[in-house]
Amino acid sequence: MTIAERQTQPDPRKRPERRGRPESADARAWAWAVLATPIGPLLLAATDEGLAQVVFHAEEKTAAEAVARLTRRLGAEPTAAPPTASGTVAAPSGAPRCAGHLAEAIRQMESYFAGEAKAFTLSLDWSLITGFNRRVLRELAAHVPYGTVVGYQNLADRVGEPGAARAVGMAMGSNPLPVVVPCHRVVESGGGIGGFGGGLETKRILLALEGVLPQPLF
């Protein structure tokens, strides 16, 4: 608030102006947190439908940019503050559903990186992706389990688009839910590791965690 605003008395006949970003009619409740992991900080964002986004390398600047993008996409500011201690959050009684989905995502992500969980059983919000990309990612999430890999061409065949191997690669790059929707398990048909939005070293670490690649010696 400016000095002029503090010194000006409101007119009781006028409705007070709303401050901050106006929420759209279809605004959606959501919450976020940054979790420390062996592949660096991950930003997790959840709506009332479920986990909606995972962002790699979520240091302060990247996290702030991701939160700003989500605020625009979802039409509202986050409804719950991120946790401040050890990355663990517990949704209190009466908290919005998004906070509960976020807490469960953090719990399962911690279990995954500890080598305990072999599958995620989270509610997912697929609204940040559409069309062919969503079809491919749903197939990947449903039918390429922990400890296995699939080729870009094979995944294209599975969704009935045998000429779309390159488009499958683009779909992996647009994945809003990496790690949970395991685009790290998609590799080149000739045996190469393929690309990865989180970086090749991150992909190697995830595949080593799942036993597909040997653990690094150093």
As for how many domains the chain has, the answer is 2
Is residue 165 included in any domain, yes or no?
A: yes
pLDDT in tens, 78-133: 985 555 434 455 555 556 899 999 999 999 999 999 999 999 999 999 999 999 99
Residues 135 and 108 occupy one common structural domain? no
pLDDT of 96 = 87
Encode pLDDT of 173-216 as tens digits.
999 999 999 999 999 987 789 989 999 999 999 999 999 988 76
Domain termination site, one of 78, 113, 148: 113
Q: What is the mean pLDDT of residues 68-85?
A: 80
Residue 7 has pLDDT above 50, yes or no: no
Q: pLDDT by residue (tens digit) across 142-156? A: 999 999 999 999 999
Residues 108 and 140 in one domain: no
Mean pLDDT of 61-77: 96
**Claim to verify: residue 96 and residue 140 sit in the same structural domain:** no
What is the CATH number for 198? 1.10.10.10
In a domain, 103, yes or no: yes
Give the pLDDT score at 12.
44
User: Which of 50-54, 79-83, 132-136 is the least confident region?
Assistant: 79-83
My answer on whether 109 and 136 are in the same domain is no
- Are residues 48 and 106 both part of a single domain? yes
For the cut 90, the answer to whether the pLDDT of residue 53 exceeds it is yes
| Mean pLDDT of all residues in 160-174 | 95
139 and 97 both lie in a single domain: no
SS (H, E, C) the chain: CCHHHHHCCCCCCCCCCCCCCCCCCCCCCEEEEEECCCCCCEEEEEECCCEEEEECCCCHHHHHHHHHHHHHHHCCCCCECCCCCCCCCCCCCCCCHHHHHHHHHHHHHHHHHCCCCCCCCCCECCCCCCHHHHHHHHHHHHHCCCCCCEEHHHHHHHCCCCCCHHHHHHHHHCCCCCCCCCHHHEECCCCCCCCCCCCHHHHHHHHHHCCCCCCCCC
143 and 196 both lie in a single domain: yes
Does a structural domain hold residue 41?
yes
Q: Whole domain around residue 162: which residue ranges?
A: 131-209
Identify the pLDDT of residue 80: 59
Which residues are marked as active site?
183
Boundary (domain end) residue, out of 69, 84, 113: 113
pLDDT for the residue numbered 6: 38
pLDDT in the model for residue 5: 39
Q: Which of 81, 113, 145 is the last residue of a domain?
A: 113
